[in-house]
Structure 1
Amino acid sequence: MVRTSVIGCGNMGSALVTGLWKSGNHTVIACDLDSEALAAVADYSTETTEDISRAAEADVVFVAVKPDIVEAVLDELELSADQTLVSIAAGVPTEFVEAYTDADVVRIMPNLAAETRDMAAAATGDLSPAIRELLDDVGEFAEIQEAQMDIATAVNGSGPAFVFYLIDAMTQAGVAGGLDHEEAETLAAQTFKGAAETILRDDRSAEELIDAVCSPNGTTIEGMEVLWDSDADEAVADAVAAAERRSKELAADFDDA
């Protein structure tokens, strides 16, 4: 069992707590000053605490707080060279975190699917075998360069919200066609889930898979013609670009820190 702790049990922190616990490979200390946040993850934690020094006793310490309080947390957090600090604070450079700790520093951008162990994460830093196994316990990860973290934040960190938007759009189309909401949402969400698994497991490209689904003169090609003639791809690209810009703005706040 790997001793882990998560400092900050908001949406992302609590998702990590839950996913790590569900893997069965970790003891998890959940740390937050908000008693309600701790109560929400109590069933998925070995221990809940408001004491950051307790969280600092773990082998792997996640700092899952908002960027504007990262510095205050790092000031209080005393770790040694044989520990690993994993920062998930959006826009906070690895170099900034390293200046505050003797621990090995890994920076990741996960997403909320860590709760169901389906996380997509971008990771940068010296990823030890133990950290690789830990990330595998809660989903899939891509190892990238620090300079690529802003775009990764937009793609997989913000991406779930974009996907939720598209699932809801398909759900509403189903409801408009006569399905009840629960039926339509199940069909739409499971379709996204299955399509995602196919992309990950199949050697064919997205374009090739589209062709595989589109029978000549069939229903799918009729719908795809509408998408191809629209600006849907540009709208998605614009959403990703906007999220990337915001990540860069957050990072700029730490340039002179």
Structure 2
Amino acid sequence: MGSALVKGLSKADDYTLTACDLDPDALDSVAEYCSTTTSDPDVAAESDIVIVALKPDIVQHVVGDLDLSADQTLVTLAAGVSTDTLEPHTDATVVRVMPNLAAETGNMAAAVTQHSVNDDVREILDAVGEFVEVDEQQMDIATAVNGSGPAFVFYLLNAMKQAGVEGGLEDDEAKTLAAQTFKGAAETVLQSDQSIDDLIDAVCSPKGTTIEGMDVLWDSDADEAVVDAVSAAERRSKELATESENE
């Protein structure tokens, strides 16, 4: 996730980016997008905004080792780790963000804690996609919807691609058609004033091809499976929160 943000922000031309990691391969993978790469956390900690993209079980320890001042902002991407958990370990303003991998292409969906977000963080998020400000109690479900959501979409997209291949399309043809269809449908939802149900109806002409396919979906448990997947991801985010509080 950290590398996706670095790559996305590098296209904005408004930021001086410093990447810090102990893994030289990780640094090499983002070197062309950064002004500086380093394995020294003190160098990275000189930035006005410090983003920590770490596993939940180590984020407290790393944040505690960073010497940040009250004039700085600490943005955490760690799933399940609350601002309350990190605030005792730093003097910086703590902002919790759950982005997703589409930050790399400028198409990110992110949730951010409304009580602590500031304009500098808003500008960063706006540079790489869309974001919503939510009560921190809603961050677990946001983590499931937009953080884990890309994997669920990839799964569904791959199913459509496979259907195209089984119907006779070449693999790359089916991939392009399926991916562009998801992309176009998502953009339509974002730009339209119509509800999603109304948009479905708009595609379903009577006795046409789409209504035949939708009848299969309506008669299936496909929607329940997606809800269950999101619920499972939300439940795990809450478990991570409990684990981090007990560290």
TM-score, reference length from structure 2 = 0.98
- Cα distance in 2 for partners of 1:30, 1:255 equals 28
Q: Is residue 57–residue 244 contact of structure 2 (8 Å, CA) maintained in 1?
A: no
Shift of 1:200: 0.6
**Counterpart residue identity of residue 64, structure 1:** A
Q: What secondary structure is seen at the aligned counterpart in 1 of 2:120?
A: helix
Give the structure 2 partner of residue 102 of structure 1. Answer: 91
Shift of 1:126: 2.0
Give the structure 2 partner of residue 172 of structure 1. Answer: 162
Runs of 5+ consecutive residues of structure 1 not aligned to the other structure? 1-11
- Cα distance in 2 for partners of 1:128, 1:107 equals 11
Give the structure 2 partner of residue 22 of structure 1. Answer: 11
Aligned counterpart in structure 1 of residue 229 of structure 2, from 230, 239, 244: 239
Give the structure 2 partner of residue 155 of structure 1. Answer: 145
Q: What secondary structure is seen at the aligned counterpart in 2 of 1:254?
A: helix
Tell me how many residue pairs correspond in the alignment.
Answer: 246
Give the structure 1 partner of residue 240 of structure 2. Answer: 250
Give the structure 2 partner of residue 228 of structure 1. Answer: 218
**Counterpart residue identity of residue 139, structure 2:** M
CA RMSD after TM alignment: 0.8
Range that drifts further, 177-186 or 118-127: 118-127
Q: Is residue 56–residue 79 contact of structure 2 (8 Å, CA) maintained in 1?
A: yes
**Counterpart residue identity of residue 224, structure 2:** E
**Counterpart residue identity of residue 120, structure 1:** A
Structure 1 segment 4-15 matched on structure 2, within 5 A: 12-15=1-4
Matching of residue 93 in structure 1 with residue 82 in structure 2: yes
% identical aligned pairs: 67
Shift of 1:255: 2.7
Deviations 1:61-81 (A, max 9, x none): 101011111122112111111
Q: Is residue 56–residue 244 contact of structure 2 (8 Å, CA) maintained in 1?
A: no
- Cα distance in 2 for partners of 1:187, 1:46 equals 37
- Cα distance in 1 for partners of 2:118, 2:126 equals 12
Aligned counterpart in structure 1 of residue 50 of structure 2, from 39, 44, 61: 61
Q: What secondary structure is seen at the aligned counterpart in 2 of 1:85?
A: strand
- Cα distance in 2 for partners of 1:53, 1:88 equals 19
- Cα distance in 2 for partners of 1:23, 1:166 equals 31
Shift of 1:203: 0.5
Deviations 1:133-167 (A, max 9, x none): 11100100010011111111000000000000001
Structure 1 segment 126-205 matched on structure 2, within 5 A: 126-205=116-195
**Counterpart residue identity of residue 107, structure 1:** R
- Cα distance in 2 for partners of 1:90, 1:136 equals 21
Give the structure 2 partner of residue 47 of structure 1. Answer: 36
- Cα distance in 1 for partners of 2:216, 2:54 equals 42
Runs ≥4 residues deviating over 2 A: 254-257
Q: What secondary structure is seen at the aligned counterpart in 1 of 2:16?
A: strand
